[in-house]
Structure 1
């Protein structure tokens, strides 16, 4: 595949050393080129797979969990060369690596999608399959644009291949970008199936397109519309998986009834594995992990007692001498803490020094708890959309649109009542403001160490309140950092290198060179 892509996207770099002019315009018969690709159904599928391949990029979804390290839920000290460290500490600027890499990676994906959408209509193949592939690519392009506007706000909207030396556009507003995403996702949903055969697992479905649509509607504050979209998704047959823990640490739970869209990683040794096991697991003698992102003391304190009460409630039964007893089971399904085990190894026997964890906690999610594969080559899929997200989006949208009615309670309580979690329902009689806080807390806990909470707190407009001046401590209560977060950081800076290339680009507010 890499050879094919290299040929497709670098076909203009033909060697000019031949002496005959007609040689320069001869289509090679033994290689893939822009002239002989996009001819057959095999070409079409390979080209579309190339767009899917961008999802694995570290700067798109490959290391998406790092986003939690930009929230009160986790801490990043050593970012493993990703550029997240300066963002986590409040030192972001137009030259910071992570924004530059993300911006470039997403537009590379959009370029591939635009190329596919221009070429697919001319491919000689089954019209029904061709129509579906166009819908899949349209969904992926919309997903890339959602990531762009989520992180950067206003960005250029490019829907066609721009010729070499062609004029580059300026920014489009976030409102117009979201309208584009909603329109594209809606059209894709109309052309995509509800499900595929096992051989097609991982391709975008109607549910994936509608979930993206709901997220865009929620970001646009179109609450009644978002609630309606989530209700439609609820009728597609998804449900909550009955084993929350294994959903994130075992390949046996992959592609379950809760998964709406994920990244399909391949078996070890094929060069298509996930890096998360290497990036998140302990740097002990039992593993070659890097432990770049650590669950925070703040996150652990936010897990309720099994009776649904906060640990700060005198009636909760919380025992400071046994702080992990009787807690929400999702704590142990997400975090490796004192008294727990990891890969059967007691916490106390893991090498827990300043190169293993600064907070005293390790991340359990997305670290495959079996042996037999090399570090950084995990076959464990990464879930982008799952049904619990749809339920909590439904609760949020309905609460904002109509207040805490029965739909809101039913959605959030279904998440809490998942088998194996079995948390008590939210008591009746909550006000709209009270329910808003409850939903936000539930999202923090349900999606801890999955990377989504960073987008949530910026969407809610509370990131500065939560992050600026945040004192990061370890489990002994010792301060290890203090976070600087100003309002400007709610949007990432447009990379200075991109502004230098495109005079029509304007920097986001309050960033300077």
Structure 2
């Protein structure tokens, strides 16, 4: 931790200064100081503003964040298409305190330190715009709380450093100990509550598309983060119903009231009446500012079609560039999508036909997965053996589907196009735009929390049915009289398919404490054979059984951190 806190402080001063409007002939860059960033003679607060803006850039993006694939490629929803992709090592349990993955410990504490630096120095600036003097410190406070949330969901309780800005020689850095999980949750929620009413006003939908500050902390964003935090705290991993957790891995005993607090937090967002579901789901990948996006990683607003090349089946090469088909969804994930009539495929009355397995399915399947026979760039996808998108020839396609499917989420509606449409993803020097919380997630958080607290209700049914209606189900209504357990299964499945590849499933199966069960079972794909009469035969194929132990519900703390600071106790089992 010592190295992280100190090193990034030096780097950031240089980065922040390199984009400023002042000239540097009179002072070498390596001599820039906090006094320069928080300039007592600059009423615009230009450099201080850039410092704050840079903290936002520490929020991680998604799409293909880890080993060029989404985090779901190490869940039960998908696997990497390439045999050599590093995510296979994670699937096989090949990580430890010595060799970590998705390690955000240093990133988050860097951001927390940057927020503390801002809070300790922003009043030096004679802000001409008095609103900034109110908004900016509360943005820093909310960002700090968010980064603690990112730590807690990975590691459990972590050291809370308060407002302290540590120097590299501070002996205390080597003595910090982990706060309990409960202390961390209480701190995060308190900080969010302090900040929520002192931020720039939420933009109306009419103004959102032209709002240059869309993505910065507002009341709606802070309330949404609070709902996420409280849902995590209420979930079985941290809110045990039987064996008590250690202080830094969760609460000592179960409390149903935590579900109520999470549901109330989600309802507070709903009651703002600022957000709704977009009628056309493709709007979510084409327009950064829309009715549904709440918490969005700020980035350059331009777009590209890079992501479509990354994910589209390997037989497509618009403009002469081959697609890469990086992600292979599992059969288990595909089977989670029911029929358009709202019934699961396991229901004998659903109309599901194993000989035509994609006919009449939930329309969200076609928007999420490339499957055999679906139309893409004016031709049918061919993932049958020897087909254009599974040629079984390494010279034609060195990487191809492991499961008979490719991931389509975040691609535009290009079934009839001749080239890929630009979407929000970029990969040419700008950080991709990434939505962290959208309104569909809020509705499902509300439904889950309130069902766990008090069982089925009309309000819960309404929240879930709203999503199913937008998804295109007909009828979209749920079966009347579902039990709490049955409705739990429905809500969890809706989260799986509605929020697919949005870095939800990976965390959901952990906080629900079902990861060991779903990872401990063989994951499947499909082998598709094209018959001489043009029909297809679909045969289940085994793909992999991920390795997972109870210890893996939390991440290991990197050895470099515990060596520098022996006071940080390692998570159990590592």
TM exceeding 0.5: yes
**Which of residues 194, 200, 214 is equivalent to 2:202?**
194
Q: Identify if the C-alpha distance between structure 1 residues 284 and 131 changes in structure 2 by more than 3 Å, giving closer, same or farther.
A: farther
**2:151 counterpart residue number:** 148
CA distance, structure 2, for counterparts of residue 297 and residue 350 of structure 1: 20
**Which of residues 202, 205, 211 is equivalent to 2:224?**
211
CA distance, structure 1, for counterparts of residue 433 and residue 480 of structure 2: 38
Q: Give unpaired runs (5+ residues) of structure 2.
A: 1-8, 17-25, 235-257, 393-397, 415-419, 528-538
Q: Report deviation, 1:284.
A: 4.6
**1:46 counterpart residue number:** 50
Partner of 2:34: helix, strand, or coil?
A: coil
CA distance, structure 1, for counterparts of residue 306 and residue 565 of structure 2: 33
Q: Report deviation, 1:303.
A: 0.4
CA distance, structure 2, for counterparts of residue 507 and residue 68 of structure 1: 26
CA distance, structure 2, for counterparts of residue 189 and residue 451 of structure 1: 25
CA distance, structure 1, for counterparts of residue 147 and residue 310 of structure 2: 24
Q: Identify if the C-alpha distance between structure 1 residues 382 and 275 changes in structure 2 by more than 3 Å, giving closer, same or farther.
A: farther
Q: Report deviation, 1:119.
A: 2.0
Describe how 1:283-298 pairs up with structure 2 within 5 A. Answer: 283-284=314-315, 286=317, 287=321, 290-298=324-332
- Answer yes or no: is the 8 Å Cα contact 2:76–2:523 preserved in 1: no
2:224 maps to 1:173 = no
> Size of the alignment, in residue pairs?
487
**2:427 counterpart residue number:** 376
Q: TM-score, normalised by structure 2?
A: 0.77
Moved more, 478-487 or 84-93: 84-93
> 1:169-202 CA deviation, whole Å, 9 max, x = no partner?
1211222111111111222221122226612222
Describe how 1:6-405 pairs up with structure 2 within 5 A. Answer: 6=11, 8=13, 32-39=32-39, 40=42, 41-56=45-60, 66-76=70-80, 78=82, 83-100=86-103, 102-125=104-127, 126-159=129-162, 160-166=164-170, 167-168=172-173, 169-192=176-199, 193-195=201-203, 198-221=211-234, 222-236=258-272, 237-248=274-285, 251=286, 253-266=287-300, 276-277=307-308, 279-284=310-315, 286=317, 287=321, 290-348=324-382, 350-352=388-390, 353=392, 355-367=399-411, 370=420, 376-377=427-428, 381-405=433-457
Q: Identify if the C-alpha distance between structure 1 residues 379 and 308 changes in structure 2 by more than 3 Å, giving closer, same or farther.
A: same
Partner of 2:36: helix, strand, or coil?
A: coil
CA distance, structure 1, for counterparts of residue 520 and residue 495 of structure 2: 21
Q: Report deviation, 1:244.
A: 1.5
Q: Identify if the C-alpha distance between structure 1 residues 56 and 224 changes in structure 2 by more than 3 Å, giving closer, same or farther.
A: closer
**1:461 counterpart residue number:** 513
- Answer yes or no: is the 8 Å Cα contact 1:27–1:33 preserved in 2: no
RMSD across aligned C-alpha pairs, in angstroms?
3.1
> 1:398-434 CA deviation, whole Å, 9 max, x = no partner?
1111110111111111111116455521111111111
**2:5 counterpart residue number:** none
Q: Give unpaired runs (5+ residues) of structure 1.
A: 12-25
Q: TM-score, normalised by structure 1?
A: 0.86
CA distance, structure 2, for counterparts of residue 173 and residue 103 of structure 1: 17
Q: Identify if the C-alpha distance between structure 1 residues 345 and 8 changes in structure 2 by more than 3 Å, giving closer, same or farther.
A: farther
CA distance, structure 2, for counterparts of residue 278 and residue 107 of structure 1: 34
Moved more, 181-190 or 441-450: 181-190
Partner of 1:332: helix, strand, or coil?
A: helix
**Which of residues 492, 496, 516 is equivalent to 1:440?**
492
- Answer yes or no: is the 8 Å Cα contact 2:81–2:400 preserved in 1: no
> 1:446-476 CA deviation, whole Å, 9 max, x = no partner?
1111111111111111111111243343444
CA distance, structure 2, for counterparts of residue 74 and residue 285 of structure 1: 21
Partner of 1:260: helix, strand, or coil?
A: strand
> 1:53-109 CA deviation, whole Å, 9 max, x = no partner?
11246799788972212321111354987x533222222211234244x22222222
CA distance, structure 1, for counterparts of residue 322 and residue 81 of structure 2: 18
- Answer yes or no: is the 8 Å Cα contact 2:80–2:88 preserved in 1: yes
CA distance, structure 2, for counterparts of residue 62 and residue 129 of structure 1: 36
- Answer yes or no: is the 8 Å Cα contact 1:394–1:408 preserved in 2: yes
- Answer yes or no: is the 8 Å Cα contact 2:100–2:556 preserved in 1: no
